[in-house]
Structure 1
C-alpha cells in the first residue's frame, strides 16, 4: 500500500471472505462507495434496488505481474427485506478463481475502468523495481505518469524561481504570511480567500527553514467551530470570555493542545463516543464552549491536502527587507485520516487562535489554525518525496 501511494496510485480496499467468494458478492463498504463516487464511476445513493432491474456494470480488470484478466464489476443494491434494506454490493467476475479468503485487494481507477490488484499475492515492489515489464508495470506506470504530470510542471517552475537567486519579499514588514504570498506571486498565482488548493489541485505551503530542533509547526488548515453543537455562538463570544488587552486592542493569541492547558486556561478534549473535538476552559465555569465534528476536520484535511508541496526557504535580510532562498520541497499525498484523531489527542496537532477586536466590536480571527509539529508530518502522511530546488 505504501509503495502504491508513493507512486501516486490512489486506491480503495476490499477483503473478500470465504462466504463472499462462495456467494459471489461483497459488501461495497463506505470507503469503496466514496471512492467510486469521487472518481465519477458510480453513485450508490442514486441507484435503485434490485440486481436485475437496476444493476450497473463497470469495465474492470484483475491485474498481476503476468496477467490482465477482463472481469467486469457488478454493482447493485439488493431488494429491501422487511427487517432491513440490505447493504450495497460489488462483485468482480472470475474473482473467485484469483483470490483466496481474506486476501487484500487494492482497487484503483484508470481510464474510466477499475483495476484490481491482489496485494496478498502480487509483489508490487518487485514488479516496479525488478521486473519492470508486464501488465501490472504498464498500468502503474501510466497511472503514476498521469498523476505526477502537474507535480512535475510545478516542480519545474519552482526550480526556475530558485535558480534566479534570492526572491525579495512582497511585504515591507516581516509577517508569517510573507513567504507564502511571495512564492505565490513568483508563480503568478493571484491572492484571494480561496479554500481550494493553490496550483491545479496542489496545495502550496511554504515555511522558513530552521535547524531541526527549532522547526516551526506546519499549518494544515483553518476551520471555525461548528456553532450548532457549541455552547458559544461566535468567535466574538470566545474573545469576550478569554481575550486580553494588548497594544490598544482586545486580543487572543494562543495555542490550544490536548496535551496541556495553556496560559488562558484552554485545552482540547476528545469525545470519541460522539466523534467531537471540544475546546474547553479548565479554569472557568464555561467548560466545553466550542466544538468541531472530527469527521468534518478529517474531511477538510483530506480535501486541502490531497496533494501538497511544502516548500522550504532560507531567509536573508538585505537592505532592510526579507529575501527568500527557496531550497527544497517535501511532496505529500493523501493524508491518513484515522491518524488525525490520534495526533490531536497526543498534542502533535494543535490549534492557534489569532484574534483581535475590530473597531466594530466584533472579533477578527485569522484561524482557528490547525497545525502539526514538523517532526510528525510523516505520521499523518504516507511516505513523501523530497526534491532539492538548487
Structure 2
C-alpha cells in the first residue's frame, strides 16, 4: 500500500479515537477495471482476528466463493452492496476480495476503509470522505450513526464495570483479604464476586483486571506462560528448579527475575532470536547454555488474548488497626496491545520474566509462572493511548 497522506493519517486517528476496528486497502487501476483486489496480509489478518473469514481454510475456485452483505458509504447516503471473498484456481489461489459497485466510488490508488459491523462489511473511501466532519456534524448521517454505534458497543462493558468500581470505591477502604503482595488484586476481585483462579481468560466479560498499590514503582503482571517444552533442552519446571534452585526454610525454590539486559545472581538471562522468532532463556553455565524456549508467536497471542482490553486499577494502601486496607481510586483503560512492541520491550529490559517455582517438604513442585511483567513506564509503549478514570 502507498504511503498515507497527512489528511488520511488524521482520518485514521479519528477512527482510532472512536475505537473502531478497521483495515485499509488500495484498489489499483487494473483492479477497478477487472473488479478485483488482492486481499493483502493486513486485510487477511483483520478478517481472521475479527472472526469474519479465514482464507487458509477456503478452497480454490468459483464454487467456493463466499458472498457476504456489504454497505458502501458516500456522503449522506449508503448503497447496499455485496462482498466477494475467494481464491482463484490460478496464481496459487492468491486471496481476493471485492465489493460490488466499488468502482463507482473509488479512483485508482484511493485508500478504502473496511469495517465489519452488524454482520456486514461497512466500506467507505477514506481518501475522499470528510470523516471527522461527518462524525461531528450536527446533521445526522449514516457514517456518524455507524461510528457512534460502534463506539457505544465497544465501551458498553467498560462503562458497566466502571460504574461497579465507582460504587465499590465510594464505600471507602476495603480490608485486605490476605497478607501478601497479591492481596490488592485478590481483594478487588473478591469484592466484585470474581472467582480467583488461574484461568487464562480475562476477568470481567472480556476485560482483564490488574490492580496495584499506588506510589510504588512495581512491575505489573502481563500474563503467565510456560516455555515450549518440545523445543526446549529442559522439559519441565522441575528441571529448571533442580538446576538453579536454592534452599529457603522448608522449601527448595527458585524465585527470581530474568532480563534481557543483565544476568541475575543465578547467571540467567533472556535473549531474542528474531531470525527464528524465539525468546530464549540462557544460563552462563557453559554446561547448560540455552535451556528453555518460547515462540514469539505464542507470546504475542497470549498478550492479545489476555489484554485485548484491560483495567489497570490503582489503590492507596492504608493501615488501620494493624491491618492493610485498599482504597481503589484510579483506572487506566487500555486496549489492543501493539504486539510488535512486545519484542522491543523484552530486548530493552522493560518486560521481564519471573520464575516462581518451589518444591515443598513433601516433594511437590509448584510453578506459579513463569510470569511476564512490565515496568510502569512500558504501559504507554505497549498499548495505544489510554483513557484514565477517577473512581472517587
Q: 1:47 aligns with which of 53, 58, 62?
A: 58
Partner of 2:282, secondary structure, is strand
2:72 is the counterpart of 1:62: yes
- Give the aligned partner of residue 170 of structure 1: 177
* Structure 2 unaligned blocks of 5 or more: 1-11
Q: Which moved more, 1:53-62 or 1:41-50?
A: 41-50
Q: CA deviation at 1:37?
A: 4.1
Q: CA deviation at 1:19?
A: 4.1
- Give the aligned partner of residue 17 of structure 2: 6
Q: Distance in 2 between matches of 1:251 and 1:369?
A: 15
Q: CA deviation at 1:65?
A: 5.0
Partner of 1:196, secondary structure, is coil
Q: Show CA shifts across 1:125-176 (max 9, x none).
A: 44434667422211000111111111111000000000010011111x1x12
Q: Is the 8 A contact 1:203 1:309 kept in 2?
A: yes
- Give the aligned partner of residue 203 of structure 2: 198
Q: Is the 8 A contact 2:257 2:354 kept in 1?
A: yes
Q: CA deviation at 1:101?
A: 4.2
Matches within 5 A, 1:76-225: 76-79=86-89, 81=90, 85-129=92-136, 133-171=140-178, 173=179, 175-210=180-215, 214-225=216-227
The 1:208–1:101 alpha-carbon spacing in structure 2 relative to 1, beyond 3 Å, is farther
- Give the aligned partner of residue 233 of structure 2: 231
Matches within 5 A, 1:276-355: 276-355=278-357
2:277 is the counterpart of 1:275: yes
Q: Is the 8 A contact 1:2 1:383 kept in 2?
A: no
Q: Distance in 2 between matches of 1:216 and 1:104?
A: 44
Q: CA deviation at 1:332?
A: 0.9
The 1:125–1:380 alpha-carbon spacing in structure 2 relative to 1, beyond 3 Å, is farther
Q: Distance in 2 between matches of 1:281 and 1:16?
A: 51
2:372 is the counterpart of 1:370: yes
Q: Distance in 2 between matches of 1:336 and 1:40?
A: 19
Q: CA deviation at 1:230?
A: 0.7
- Taking only aligned residues, the RMSD between alpha carbons, in angstroms, comes to 2.1
Partner of 2:92, secondary structure, is coil
Residue correspondences, number: 381
Q: Distance in 2 between matches of 1:247 and 1:147?
A: 50
State the TM-score, normalized to the length of structure 2.
Answer: 0.90
Q: Is the 8 A contact 1:2 1:382 kept in 2?
A: no
State the TM-score, normalized to the length of structure 1.
Answer: 0.91
* Structure 1 unaligned blocks of 5 or more: none
Q: Is the 8 A contact 1:256 1:268 kept in 2?
A: yes
